[in-house]
Amino acid sequence: MQHKIKTLAEIKKISAQAKKENKTIVFTNGCFDLLHIGHITYLKEARALGDILIIGLNSDSSIKKLKGKKRPLIPEHERAQILSALEYVSYVVLFSEETPYNLIKAIIPHILVKGGDYQNQKVVGEDIVKQNGGSLHLISFIPGKSTSTLIQTIVKNYS
């Protein structure tokens, strides 16, 4: 598992080598706090689009900026290990910015994947990917399956 968790410098080298080998790089990103069936289905479908699936994982500090001071529930090093345990995840790289723009710019994946809730919205990094001949792929979510919904259910049932 640990061998799948990479630094920015390492993931840049891996991406460059993969491109030399004509492998298709798929990139997605997110918090992945409390992994659930929606995440699993999404990541499995993303991996099917190419040879290598790289996940940009929001750091704890990044999540706090996006979701508030009570999140994440699971620390970044644990979330990275959980994701790297999935057979269809090739690599996990943490990023601390609010968006993965700089990470996408460093990797320049062939395919950028986001959830279907981004329909008719601008996706961060889409410009970089498309300028380099790549594409954006939106994957539908499983209705009612989200970390926020899961947290609400836990609070309701255990408060």
List, for residues 113-144, the tens digit of each pLDDT value.
998 665 667 899 999 999 999 999 999 877 77
pLDDT value of residue 1: 61
Model confidence pLDDT, tens digit, residues 21-73: 999 999 999 999 888 888 999 999 999 999 999 999 999 999 999 888 988 99
Question: How far is the C-alpha of 145 from the C-alpha of 136, rounded, in Å?
Answer: 23
Do 1 and 82 touch, CB atoms closer than 8 A? no
Neighbours of 153 (CB within 10 A): 10
Higher local confidence (pLDDT), 148 or 34? 34
pLDDT value of residue 3: 93
**Weakest-pLDDT range from 54-68, 76-90, 142-156:** 142-156
Higher local confidence (pLDDT), 148 or 9? 9
Question: Residue 13 above 80 pLDDT?
Answer: yes
pLDDT value of residue 64: 93
The order of strands in the sheet holding 111-115 is: 5-6, 91-95, 52-58, 25-30, 111-115, 135-139
Enumerate the β-bridge partners of residue 55: 28, 92
Domains of the chain: 2-158 (3.40.50.620)
